[in-house]
Every structure is written in C-alpha cells, then in structure tokens.
Copies of this chain bind each other. A is one copy, B any other.
Amino acid sequence: MDPRRLRDLLERLQRGETSVEQALALLRRLPYADLEMAKVDHHRPLRQGAPEVIFGEGKTSQQIAAIATELLGAGQNVLVTRLDEGKAAALAPALPGLCYVATARLGRLESSPPVRRPCAPVAVVAAGTSDIPVAEEAAETLGALGLEASRLYDVGVAGIHRLLAHAEELQGASAAIVVAGMEGALPSVVGGIVGCPVVAVPTSVGYGTALGGLTALFAMLTSCAPGVCVVNIDNGFGAAMCVHRMLPAAARQVQP
C-alpha cells in the first residue's frame, strides 16, 4: 500500500467519507501490503525492461507457456532458464517470438529490448569448453538484464598464458563472472589480476574427486585472492543476478 493511499484513507475517515469498520478491514491487510510497497524500490530496476524469470526445470511446456503468456500480456519481458531442447520445441507454437539459446539452455522473449546499462562490459570467463553452457547462461542472463557480456573462454590455469594475454581486457570490466569446474582455480588467478568484483561459479564438470562440483566450490571459497564471492554449482543465472545487484547500486550513486 502506497503511503499516499494510506493518507487518503485516513483523510477520508477524518472527513467521514468512510467508516471505521471499512478502514479496519483495509488496514488488516496493511502490514504486508506495506511491505510489498517497500519492495518496489527493489523491483523497479528489474521492471525497467528487465525480464521476469521462469525456472524451466520441473515444469511442463504447457505450464511454462501459460506463465509466459500471462507475463507477456502484462508487457513483461520473459526469461526461461534450464529449458531443454525438447521443451523449447514444444513451446514454439504457443510462444512464437521465443528465442532459444541451446548452449545456455534458456529462452528469451522480449516485448521491448532491455534498456542498456551505462557501464563497462561484464567479463564472463570460462576455464574449459565444458564450462561454456554455464558461462552462456550467465552471459545471456546479463544480456536480458541490459548488461553487456564480454566472453573469454578456454583460459584454464594449466595454460596460464592464455588468460594473461587478456589481462588488459579483464582489467577494464565492470565485474567478472568466472566459471570453472575440476579444481576451480581460475577465480583465484583472476581475482589476483583485477580489482573489480569477481563472482565465481563452480561447475559440475569433471569426474572422480571433482565430486560433482563440490571440489571446485570448496576451492573457490578458500580462494587465496581476497574478496572473491561464490554462487551455487552450475548457477550461471545466479551469478548474473549477483552482478545485477551490484550495478544498480552503482547506478544509484551517480544520480545527484
């Protein structure tokens, strides 16, 4: 509930235009309505051209189509993550404009192009070719959020010179998302080269002691480069959302 609407209500009560009973009934719902309002500030940047997100895993294509159609009707852009090829194909008739990105396993459907944020690109760095699907999930989500992604793939630590050849590019990024499986060492190295925020994403790539991504996760959390933060295994979407939270904060500050 909007503070102005609350003031209106009280003034109407004062003026005798509403009864105490009616006011009480409205106020009963106040606590959480008020809270909802409190969240507007948070949701505003998202709603300015930003997509509503549907987690596709565990939903049928019918369910996804229904939710997406409703969102589109409200003028929202839509992002569907963890969307496999089969479901994407099944969605096509119901969502004709859906753009499916197979590598990233997601679909985008945009009523209006996302508003481009006024900041340097976000570096999306992947250690190996098997980490690319997770990196692409991050990069495509960034795109849907109005952030430019600068991809830098196959630069794992066993061939450290390949990464170092891009040091300058990395140092110009507004943030870095670093995706790695196996021993998960890449974020430590990147964190030592750049001063911008570094979000590490462990992947489930590897076998044996890779332990489905737990080894990379633990390695990233004990990183010897200070100030590196970590999201869940294979969670490219979460890393992009994490960067999204950082950059509005910056944007707010530039305004006088």
Q: Which residues of A contact B (CB under 8 A)?
A: 3, 6-7, 10-11, 13-14, 16, 20, 23-24, 27, 29-32, 34-36, 38-39, 41-46, 53, 58, 118-120, 127-128, 130, 156-162, 164-165, 167-168, 171, 174-175, 182-185, 188-189, 191-199, 202, 204, 206-211, 213-235, 237-239, 241-242, 244-254
Contact = CB atoms under 8 A, between A and B. Distances in A.
A211 B232 CA distance: 11
Contacts of A199: 229
Contacts of A196: 245, 248-249
Nearest to A36: B161
A247 B248 CA distance: 11
Contact of A242 (B45, B228, B241, B254): B228
How many of these chains are in the complex? 8
Given A193-B39, A209-B232, A229-B199, A253 B222 contact: no
Given A20-B10, A171-B38, A215-B219, A227 B209 contact: no
A20 B11 contact: yes
Contacts of A36: 161
Given A119-B253, A193-B39, A208 B183 contact: no
Contact of A230 (B191, B221, B249): B221
B230 A230 contact: yes
B218 A157 contact: no
A86 to B, nearest CB: 18
B224 A241 contact: no
A191 B160 contact: no
Which of A184, A202, A218 has most B Cβ within 10 Å? A218
Contacts of A120: 253
B30 A174 contact: no
A44 B195 CA distance: 9
Contact of A222 (B38, B183, B198, B224): B183
A229 to B, nearest CB: 4
A202 to B, nearest CB: 8
A183 B220 contact: yes
B7 A158 contact: no
A227 B244 contact: yes
A189 B198 CA distance: 20
Contacts of A234: 207-208
B192 A158 contact: yes
